[in-house]
Structure 1
Protein backbone atom coordinates (compact mmCIF):
# COMPACT_ATOMS: atom_id res chain seq x y z
CA UNK A 1 0.00 0.00 0.00
CA UNK A 2 2.89 2.35 0.72
CA UNK A 3 4.23 1.72 -2.78
CA UNK A 4 0.87 2.63 -4.31
CA UNK A 5 0.71 5.80 -2.22
CA UNK A 6 4.23 6.80 -3.24
CA UNK A 7 3.38 6.18 -6.89
CA UNK A 8 0.20 8.26 -6.59
CA UNK A 9 2.09 11.05 -4.85
CA UNK A 10 4.82 10.98 -7.53
CA UNK A 11 2.23 11.17 -10.30
CA UNK A 12 0.48 14.03 -8.53
CA UNK A 13 3.74 15.95 -8.13
CA UNK A 14 4.57 15.55 -11.82
CA UNK A 15 1.08 15.92 -13.23
CA UNK A 16 1.73 19.46 -14.48
CA UNK A 17 4.95 18.29 -16.15
CA UNK A 18 3.13 15.45 -17.92
CA UNK A 19 0.42 17.83 -19.07
CA UNK A 20 3.00 20.26 -20.41
CA UNK A 21 4.83 17.48 -22.27
CA UNK A 22 1.57 16.32 -23.85
CA UNK A 23 0.78 19.86 -25.01
CA UNK A 24 4.28 20.28 -26.47
CA UNK A 25 4.03 16.90 -28.22
CA UNK A 26 0.65 17.88 -29.65
CA UNK A 27 2.02 21.18 -30.95
CA UNK A 28 5.16 19.71 -32.51
CA UNK A 29 3.61 16.62 -34.09
CA UNK A 30 2.68 18.44 -37.36
CA UNK A 31 6.19 19.92 -37.54
CA UNK A 32 7.71 16.47 -37.05
CA UNK A 33 5.53 15.11 -39.86
CA UNK A 34 6.63 17.92 -42.18
CA UNK A 35 10.30 17.28 -41.38
CA UNK A 36 9.86 13.54 -41.94
CA UNK A 37 8.07 14.04 -45.25
CA UNK A 38 10.86 16.29 -46.48
CA UNK A 39 12.93 13.08 -46.81
CA UNK A 40 10.08 11.08 -48.35
CA UNK A 41 10.62 9.46 -51.76
CA UNK A 42 7.01 9.81 -52.81
CA UNK A 43 7.07 11.81 -56.02
CA UNK A 44 4.87 9.34 -57.90
CA UNK A 45 1.94 9.11 -55.49
CA UNK A 46 -0.94 11.50 -54.78
CA UNK A 47 -1.04 10.25 -51.19
CA UNK A 48 1.55 12.64 -49.79
CA UNK A 49 1.41 11.07 -46.32
CA UNK A 50 2.53 7.63 -47.55
CA UNK A 51 6.21 7.25 -46.72
CA UNK A 52 7.72 5.32 -49.65
CA UNK A 53 11.36 5.52 -48.66
CA UNK A 54 14.18 7.78 -47.49
CA UNK A 55 15.82 10.12 -49.98
CA UNK A 56 17.86 13.33 -50.07
CA UNK A 57 16.69 14.29 -53.55
CA UNK A 58 14.07 16.64 -52.13
CA UNK A 59 16.82 18.66 -50.42
CA UNK A 60 19.29 18.58 -53.32
CA UNK A 61 16.57 19.55 -55.81
CA UNK A 62 14.50 22.06 -53.85
CA UNK A 63 13.55 24.06 -56.94
CA UNK A 64 12.32 20.99 -58.79
CA UNK A 65 8.64 22.02 -58.97
CA UNK A 66 8.21 24.75 -61.56
CA UNK A 67 7.70 28.15 -59.99
CA UNK A 68 8.10 27.12 -56.36
CA UNK A 69 11.40 28.87 -55.62
CA UNK A 70 10.14 31.98 -57.39
CA UNK A 71 7.04 31.92 -55.18
CA UNK A 72 9.17 31.46 -52.05
CA UNK A 73 11.46 34.34 -53.02
CA UNK A 74 8.40 36.50 -53.70
CA UNK A 75 6.90 35.69 -50.30
CA UNK A 76 10.20 36.40 -48.53
CA UNK A 77 10.61 39.71 -50.34
CA UNK A 78 7.06 40.84 -49.59
CA UNK A 79 7.41 39.65 -45.99
CA UNK A 80 10.63 41.60 -45.43
CA UNK A 81 9.26 44.77 -47.01
CA UNK A 82 5.97 44.57 -45.11
CA UNK A 83 7.80 43.77 -41.87
CA UNK A 84 10.08 46.81 -42.15
CA UNK A 85 7.21 49.17 -42.96
CA UNK A 86 4.84 47.75 -40.34
CA UNK A 87 7.53 47.67 -37.63
CA UNK A 88 8.51 51.30 -38.17
CA UNK A 89 4.94 52.61 -38.36
CA UNK A 90 3.70 50.37 -35.53
CA UNK A 91 6.57 51.29 -33.21
CA UNK A 92 5.94 55.01 -33.75
CA UNK A 93 2.22 54.49 -33.12
CA UNK A 94 2.92 52.50 -29.94
CA UNK A 95 5.14 55.27 -28.57
CA UNK A 96 2.46 57.83 -29.38
CA UNK A 97 -0.27 55.82 -27.67
CA UNK A 98 1.78 55.07 -24.54
CA UNK A 99 3.81 58.23 -24.06
CA UNK A 100 1.49 61.00 -25.28
CA UNK A 101 -2.05 62.20 -24.57
CA UNK A 102 -4.19 63.43 -27.46
CA UNK A 103 -7.82 63.63 -28.50
CA UNK A 104 -9.14 60.23 -29.55
CA UNK A 105 -6.45 58.22 -27.80
CA UNK A 106 -8.93 55.84 -26.14
CA UNK A 107 -10.78 55.31 -29.40
CA UNK A 108 -7.49 54.66 -31.18
CA UNK A 109 -6.54 52.01 -28.60
CA UNK A 110 -9.83 50.26 -29.31
CA UNK A 111 -9.56 50.53 -33.09
CA UNK A 112 -6.08 48.96 -33.02
CA UNK A 113 -7.62 45.62 -32.04
CA UNK A 114 -10.22 45.56 -34.84
CA UNK A 115 -7.91 44.19 -37.59
CA UNK A 116 -6.79 41.45 -35.19
CA UNK A 117 -10.37 40.54 -34.29
CA UNK A 118 -11.79 40.76 -37.81
CA UNK A 119 -11.88 37.58 -39.94
CA UNK A 120 -9.32 37.59 -42.72
CA UNK A 121 -11.99 37.20 -45.38
CA UNK A 122 -13.58 40.45 -44.19
CA UNK A 123 -10.32 42.38 -44.27
CA UNK A 124 -9.28 40.87 -47.58
CA UNK A 125 -12.57 41.66 -49.29
CA UNK A 126 -12.59 45.17 -47.79
CA UNK A 127 -9.11 45.88 -49.14
CA UNK A 128 -10.11 44.48 -52.53
CA UNK A 129 -13.14 46.79 -52.57
CA UNK A 130 -10.84 49.69 -51.69
CA UNK A 131 -8.45 48.90 -54.53
CA UNK A 132 -11.33 48.53 -56.97
CA UNK A 133 -12.88 51.82 -55.83
CA UNK A 134 -9.57 53.64 -56.38
CA UNK A 135 -9.28 52.25 -59.90
CA UNK A 136 -6.55 49.70 -59.18
CA UNK A 137 -8.55 46.55 -59.89
CA UNK A 138 -6.42 45.88 -62.96
CA UNK A 139 -3.18 46.56 -61.13
CA UNK A 140 -3.42 43.97 -58.39
CA UNK A 141 -0.01 42.53 -57.65
CA UNK A 142 3.04 43.11 -55.50
CA UNK A 143 2.07 46.64 -54.49
CA UNK A 144 -1.45 45.74 -53.37
CA UNK A 145 -0.14 42.67 -51.51
CA UNK A 146 2.43 44.85 -49.76
CA UNK A 147 -0.23 47.39 -48.72
CA UNK A 148 -2.54 44.65 -47.47
CA UNK A 149 0.19 42.94 -45.45
CA UNK A 150 1.28 46.19 -43.82
CA UNK A 151 -2.34 46.86 -42.91
CA UNK A 152 -2.90 43.64 -40.94
CA UNK A 153 0.64 43.49 -39.48
CA UNK A 154 0.38 46.99 -37.99
CA UNK A 155 -2.00 45.95 -35.21
CA UNK A 156 0.24 43.12 -34.05
CA UNK A 157 3.28 45.41 -33.98
CA UNK A 158 1.46 48.12 -32.03
CA UNK A 159 0.12 45.68 -29.45
CA UNK A 160 3.49 43.94 -28.98
CA UNK A 161 5.53 47.14 -28.63
CA UNK A 162 2.88 48.71 -26.39
CA UNK A 163 3.16 45.77 -23.99
CA UNK A 164 6.93 46.29 -23.83
CA UNK A 165 6.58 50.02 -23.27
CA UNK A 166 3.94 49.56 -20.57
CA UNK A 167 6.38 47.44 -18.54
CA UNK A 168 9.27 49.85 -18.97
CA UNK A 169 10.55 51.52 -15.80
CA UNK A 170 10.46 55.27 -16.45
CA UNK A 171 12.83 55.82 -13.52
CA UNK A 172 15.70 54.57 -15.69
CA UNK A 173 15.08 57.34 -18.21
CA UNK A 174 14.74 59.93 -15.47
CA UNK A 175 17.99 58.74 -13.91
CA UNK A 176 19.79 59.15 -17.24
CA UNK A 177 18.44 62.68 -17.63
CA UNK A 178 19.43 63.48 -14.05
CA UNK A 179 22.96 62.60 -15.12
CA UNK A 180 22.73 65.35 -17.77
CA UNK A 181 21.83 63.12 -20.71
CA UNK A 182 19.75 64.86 -23.34
CA UNK A 183 16.40 63.47 -24.50
CA UNK A 184 17.98 62.10 -27.68
CA UNK A 185 20.83 60.42 -25.80
CA UNK A 186 18.39 59.00 -23.24
CA UNK A 187 16.24 57.55 -25.99
CA UNK A 188 19.06 55.87 -27.91
CA UNK A 189 21.12 54.78 -24.88
CA UNK A 190 18.32 53.75 -22.47
CA UNK A 191 14.83 53.63 -23.96
CA UNK A 192 15.56 52.06 -27.33
CA UNK A 193 17.73 49.17 -26.02
CA UNK A 194 15.04 48.33 -23.46
CA UNK A 195 12.26 48.38 -26.06
CA UNK A 196 14.32 46.61 -28.74
CA UNK A 197 13.33 43.05 -27.67
CA UNK A 198 9.67 43.98 -28.10
CA UNK A 199 10.36 45.55 -31.49
CA UNK A 200 12.29 42.46 -32.60
CA UNK A 201 9.47 40.18 -31.43
CA UNK A 202 6.95 42.31 -33.33
CA UNK A 203 9.09 42.17 -36.48
CA UNK A 204 9.41 38.37 -36.31
CA UNK A 205 5.67 38.04 -35.76
CA UNK A 206 4.95 40.35 -38.70
CA UNK A 207 7.21 38.39 -41.04
CA UNK A 208 5.61 35.10 -40.01
CA UNK A 209 2.11 36.47 -40.58
CA UNK A 210 3.06 37.96 -43.93
CA UNK A 211 4.88 34.88 -45.22
CA UNK A 212 2.06 32.59 -44.10
CA UNK A 213 -0.95 34.61 -45.23
CA UNK A 214 -3.20 33.16 -47.92
CA UNK A 215 -6.74 34.54 -47.71
CA UNK A 216 -5.97 38.27 -47.82
CA UNK A 217 -3.17 37.71 -50.32
CA UNK A 218 -5.31 35.59 -52.62
CA UNK A 219 -7.97 38.30 -52.82
CA UNK A 220 -5.51 41.09 -53.62
CA UNK A 221 -2.74 39.35 -55.57
CA UNK A 222 -4.06 39.44 -59.10
CA UNK A 223 -1.74 37.23 -61.17
CA UNK A 224 1.04 37.29 -58.56
CA UNK A 225 1.71 33.93 -56.90
CA UNK A 226 3.14 33.71 -53.39
CA UNK A 227 4.28 30.53 -51.66
CA UNK A 228 0.96 29.81 -49.83
CA UNK A 229 -0.90 30.35 -53.11
CA UNK A 230 1.52 28.02 -54.90
CA UNK A 231 0.91 25.29 -52.32
CA UNK A 232 -2.86 25.75 -52.63
CA UNK A 233 -2.62 25.50 -56.42
CA UNK A 234 -0.51 22.34 -56.57
CA UNK A 235 -2.51 20.65 -53.78
CA UNK A 236 -5.16 19.74 -56.34
CA UNK A 237 -2.63 17.57 -58.19
CA UNK A 238 -0.55 16.43 -55.21
CA UNK A 239 1.78 18.48 -53.05
CA UNK A 240 5.47 18.01 -54.02
CA UNK A 241 7.75 16.88 -51.23
CA UNK A 242 9.90 19.99 -51.70
CA UNK A 243 7.16 21.98 -50.00
CA UNK A 244 8.02 20.11 -46.80
CA UNK A 245 11.67 21.06 -47.31
CA UNK A 246 10.74 24.76 -47.38
CA UNK A 247 8.63 24.30 -44.26
CA UNK A 248 11.49 22.54 -42.48
CA UNK A 249 13.96 25.27 -43.45
CA UNK A 250 11.65 28.01 -42.18
CA UNK A 251 11.17 26.14 -38.88
CA UNK A 252 14.92 25.64 -38.43
CA UNK A 253 15.59 29.32 -39.10
CA UNK A 254 12.98 30.30 -36.52
CA UNK A 255 14.49 27.84 -34.04
CA UNK A 256 17.98 29.26 -34.57
CA UNK A 257 16.71 32.78 -33.95
CA UNK A 258 15.00 31.76 -30.71
CA UNK A 259 17.99 29.76 -29.47
CA UNK A 260 20.37 32.55 -30.41
CA UNK A 261 18.27 35.06 -28.51
CA UNK A 262 18.21 32.80 -25.44
CA UNK A 263 21.99 32.36 -25.51
CA UNK A 264 22.55 36.09 -25.93
CA UNK A 265 20.22 36.82 -23.00
CA UNK A 266 22.08 34.36 -20.76
CA UNK A 267 25.47 35.79 -21.65
CA UNK A 268 24.56 39.36 -20.68
CA UNK A 269 24.26 38.71 -16.92
CA UNK A 270 27.45 36.66 -17.03
CA UNK A 271 29.30 39.52 -18.75
CA UNK A 272 27.93 41.98 -16.20
Structure 2
Protein backbone atom coordinates (compact mmCIF):
# COMPACT_ATOMS: atom_id res chain seq x y z
CA UNK A 1 0.00 0.00 0.00
CA UNK A 2 1.42 3.37 -1.01
CA UNK A 3 1.09 6.01 1.64
CA UNK A 4 1.04 9.60 0.54
CA UNK A 5 4.01 11.61 1.79
CA UNK A 6 3.32 13.90 4.71
CA UNK A 7 4.42 17.44 3.97
CA UNK A 8 5.21 19.39 7.11
CA UNK A 9 5.38 22.96 6.04
CA UNK A 10 5.66 25.85 8.50
CA UNK A 11 2.87 27.57 6.56
CA UNK A 12 0.51 24.64 7.14
CA UNK A 13 1.23 24.68 10.85
CA UNK A 14 0.76 28.47 10.96
CA UNK A 15 -2.58 28.23 9.14
CA UNK A 16 -3.69 25.45 11.50
CA UNK A 17 -2.74 27.48 14.58
CA UNK A 18 -4.49 30.57 13.22
CA UNK A 19 -7.60 28.55 12.41
CA UNK A 20 -7.80 27.02 15.89
CA UNK A 21 -7.11 30.42 17.47
CA UNK A 22 -9.92 31.97 15.43
CA UNK A 23 -12.32 29.19 16.51
CA UNK A 24 -11.42 28.76 20.18
CA UNK A 25 -10.10 32.14 21.37
CA UNK A 26 -13.60 33.67 21.71
CA UNK A 27 -14.76 30.69 23.78
CA UNK A 28 -11.68 30.92 25.99
CA UNK A 29 -12.26 34.65 26.50
CA UNK A 30 -15.89 33.96 27.37
CA UNK A 31 -14.85 31.47 30.05
CA UNK A 32 -12.22 33.85 31.45
CA UNK A 33 -14.58 36.83 31.54
CA UNK A 34 -17.26 34.76 33.25
CA UNK A 35 -15.07 35.03 36.36
CA UNK A 36 -14.89 38.84 36.11
CA UNK A 37 -16.13 40.68 39.19
CA UNK A 38 -17.13 43.79 37.21
CA UNK A 39 -20.69 44.45 36.08
CA UNK A 40 -19.35 45.62 32.73
CA UNK A 41 -18.35 42.79 30.43
CA UNK A 42 -15.45 44.63 28.80
CA UNK A 43 -13.82 45.98 31.98
CA UNK A 44 -11.70 43.54 33.97
CA UNK A 45 -11.99 44.12 37.73
CA UNK A 46 -10.52 40.93 39.16
CA UNK A 47 -11.32 37.27 39.64
CA UNK A 48 -14.62 36.38 41.27
CA UNK A 49 -17.24 33.64 41.30
CA UNK A 50 -19.92 36.18 42.25
CA UNK A 51 -21.89 35.83 39.02
CA UNK A 52 -21.99 32.06 39.30
CA UNK A 53 -23.39 32.25 42.83
CA UNK A 54 -25.96 34.80 41.68
CA UNK A 55 -26.85 32.53 38.77
CA UNK A 56 -27.59 29.60 41.07
CA UNK A 57 -29.70 31.83 43.33
CA UNK A 58 -31.75 33.27 40.45
CA UNK A 59 -35.00 31.30 40.44
CA UNK A 60 -36.06 32.43 36.96
CA UNK A 61 -32.73 31.40 35.45
CA UNK A 62 -32.71 28.02 37.19
CA UNK A 63 -36.29 27.42 36.06
CA UNK A 64 -35.23 28.22 32.49
CA UNK A 65 -32.27 25.83 32.76
CA UNK A 66 -34.54 23.09 34.11
CA UNK A 67 -37.06 23.63 31.31
CA UNK A 68 -34.26 23.58 28.71
CA UNK A 69 -32.89 20.31 30.07
CA UNK A 70 -36.38 18.79 30.10
CA UNK A 71 -36.99 19.78 26.48
CA UNK A 72 -33.52 18.52 25.51
CA UNK A 73 -34.06 15.13 27.16
CA UNK A 74 -37.52 14.67 25.61
CA UNK A 75 -36.32 15.82 22.18
CA UNK A 76 -33.26 13.56 22.27
CA UNK A 77 -35.38 10.56 23.23
CA UNK A 78 -37.97 11.17 20.51
CA UNK A 79 -35.28 11.93 17.90
CA UNK A 80 -33.41 8.73 18.78
CA UNK A 81 -36.56 6.65 18.29
CA UNK A 82 -37.74 8.40 15.11
CA UNK A 83 -34.24 8.63 13.63
CA UNK A 84 -33.62 4.93 14.21
CA UNK A 85 -36.90 4.01 12.54
CA UNK A 86 -36.11 6.32 9.61
CA UNK A 87 -32.61 4.85 9.24
CA UNK A 88 -33.97 1.30 9.23
CA UNK A 89 -36.50 2.27 6.56
CA UNK A 90 -33.84 3.98 4.40
CA UNK A 91 -31.29 1.15 4.66
CA UNK A 92 -33.26 -2.07 5.02
CA UNK A 93 -36.31 -1.43 2.85
CA UNK A 94 -34.26 -0.67 -0.25
CA UNK A 95 -35.90 1.17 -3.12
CA UNK A 96 -39.62 1.78 -2.84
CA UNK A 97 -42.01 4.34 -4.27
CA UNK A 98 -41.16 7.64 -2.63
CA UNK A 99 -37.85 6.45 -1.13
CA UNK A 100 -35.93 9.39 -2.64
CA UNK A 101 -38.47 11.86 -1.29
CA UNK A 102 -38.39 10.18 2.11
CA UNK A 103 -34.58 10.35 2.26
CA UNK A 104 -34.69 13.99 1.12
CA UNK A 105 -37.21 14.95 3.81
CA UNK A 106 -35.21 13.19 6.51
CA UNK A 107 -31.90 14.83 5.57
CA UNK A 108 -33.27 18.27 4.59
CA UNK A 109 -32.66 19.83 8.04
CA UNK A 110 -28.96 19.00 7.65
CA UNK A 111 -28.50 21.20 4.58
CA UNK A 112 -30.90 24.03 5.42
CA UNK A 113 -29.74 26.83 7.72
CA UNK A 114 -31.17 26.45 11.21
CA UNK A 115 -32.64 29.95 11.09
CA UNK A 116 -34.59 29.13 7.92
CA UNK A 117 -35.86 25.85 9.38
CA UNK A 118 -36.84 27.55 12.64
CA UNK A 119 -38.62 30.38 10.86
CA UNK A 120 -40.49 27.98 8.58
CA UNK A 121 -41.59 25.92 11.59
CA UNK A 122 -42.75 29.10 13.34
CA UNK A 123 -44.79 30.08 10.28
CA UNK A 124 -46.21 26.55 10.12
CA UNK A 125 -47.26 26.64 13.78
CA UNK A 126 -48.86 30.09 13.35
CA UNK A 127 -50.75 28.94 10.23
CA UNK A 128 -51.91 25.76 12.00
CA UNK A 129 -53.02 27.82 14.99
CA UNK A 130 -55.18 30.02 12.75
CA UNK A 131 -56.51 27.15 10.63
CA UNK A 132 -57.33 24.42 13.15
CA UNK A 133 -56.63 26.03 16.52
CA UNK A 134 -53.62 23.83 17.30
CA UNK A 135 -51.18 24.66 18.76
CA UNK A 136 -53.03 27.27 20.76
CA UNK A 137 -49.77 28.83 21.97
CA UNK A 138 -46.15 28.53 21.00
CA UNK A 139 -44.57 27.11 24.11
CA UNK A 140 -42.83 23.97 25.26
CA UNK A 141 -44.61 21.66 22.79
CA UNK A 142 -43.66 23.64 19.69
CA UNK A 143 -40.06 24.03 20.88
CA UNK A 144 -39.93 20.28 21.45
CA UNK A 145 -41.34 19.58 17.96
CA UNK A 146 -38.78 21.91 16.38
CA UNK A 147 -35.89 20.24 18.22
CA UNK A 148 -37.12 16.78 17.27
CA UNK A 149 -37.23 17.95 13.64
CA UNK A 150 -33.61 19.15 13.84
CA UNK A 151 -32.23 16.17 15.73
CA UNK A 152 -33.98 13.35 13.88
CA UNK A 153 -31.96 14.08 10.74
CA UNK A 154 -28.65 13.73 12.57
CA UNK A 155 -29.72 10.49 14.24
CA UNK A 156 -30.97 9.02 10.96
CA UNK A 157 -27.72 9.77 9.12
CA UNK A 158 -25.49 8.34 11.87
CA UNK A 159 -27.61 5.21 12.40
CA UNK A 160 -27.99 4.57 8.66
CA UNK A 161 -24.21 4.65 8.20
CA UNK A 162 -23.85 2.14 11.04
CA UNK A 163 -26.58 -0.09 9.60
CA UNK A 164 -24.79 -0.17 6.24
CA UNK A 165 -21.61 -1.43 7.95
CA UNK A 166 -23.30 -4.27 9.87
CA UNK A 167 -22.87 -7.88 8.88
CA UNK A 168 -26.33 -8.83 7.59
CA UNK A 169 -25.53 -12.53 7.76
CA UNK A 170 -26.02 -12.48 11.54
CA UNK A 171 -29.57 -11.19 11.16
CA UNK A 172 -30.25 -13.60 8.30
CA UNK A 173 -29.01 -16.50 10.45
CA UNK A 174 -31.38 -15.47 13.25
CA UNK A 175 -34.32 -15.35 10.84
CA UNK A 176 -33.30 -18.74 9.41
CA UNK A 177 -33.51 -20.10 12.95
CA UNK A 178 -37.09 -18.84 13.24
CA UNK A 179 -36.75 -15.41 14.85
CA UNK A 180 -39.35 -12.84 13.82
CA UNK A 181 -38.04 -9.64 12.19
CA UNK A 182 -39.05 -7.55 15.21
CA UNK A 183 -37.19 -9.91 17.57
CA UNK A 184 -34.15 -9.82 15.27
CA UNK A 185 -34.16 -6.03 15.46
CA UNK A 186 -34.42 -5.83 19.25
CA UNK A 187 -32.12 -8.77 20.06
CA UNK A 188 -29.44 -8.44 17.36
CA UNK A 189 -29.59 -5.17 15.42
CA UNK A 190 -30.34 -2.76 18.27
CA UNK A 191 -27.43 -3.91 20.47
CA UNK A 192 -25.08 -3.53 17.49
CA UNK A 193 -26.21 0.03 16.74
CA UNK A 194 -26.44 1.02 20.42
CA UNK A 195 -22.99 2.73 20.45
CA UNK A 196 -24.32 5.13 17.79
CA UNK A 197 -27.30 6.04 19.95
CA UNK A 198 -25.20 7.01 22.94
Q: TM-score of the superposition, structure 1-length normalised?
A: 0.58
In 1, the alpha carbon distance for the partners of 2:82 and 2:58 equals 37
For 2:4, the equivalent position in structure 1 comes to: none
Residue by residue over 1:115-154, the C-alpha shift from the partner in whole angstroms, topping out at 9 and shown as x without a partner, is 2222334333332332233324751211121122212222
For 1:197, the equivalent position in structure 2 comes to: 195
RMSD across aligned positions (CA): 3.0
Q: Which has the higher contact order (CA 8 A, sep 6+)?
A: 1
For 2:33, the equivalent position in structure 1 comes to: 37
Residue by residue over 1:55-112, the C-alpha shift from the partner in whole angstroms, topping out at 9 and shown as x without a partner, is 1223333235562222211111111111111111111111111001332112211222
For 2:149, the equivalent position in structure 1 comes to: 151
* CA shift in 2, pair 1:129/1:15, >3 Å: closer
For 2:165, the equivalent position in structure 1 comes to: 167
Please state if 1:56 is matched with 2:54. Answer: no
For 1:177, the equivalent position in structure 2 comes to: 174
In 1, the alpha carbon distance for the partners of 2:120 and 2:97 equals 27
Q: TM-score of the superposition, structure 2-length normalised?
A: 0.76
For 2:3, the equivalent position in structure 1 comes to: none
For 1:97, the equivalent position in structure 2 comes to: 90
* CA shift in 2, pair 1:181/1:40, >3 Å: farther
* CA shift in 2, pair 1:92/1:55, >3 Å: same
Please state if 1:108 is matched with 2:102. Answer: yes
Unaligned runs of 5+ in 2: 1-6
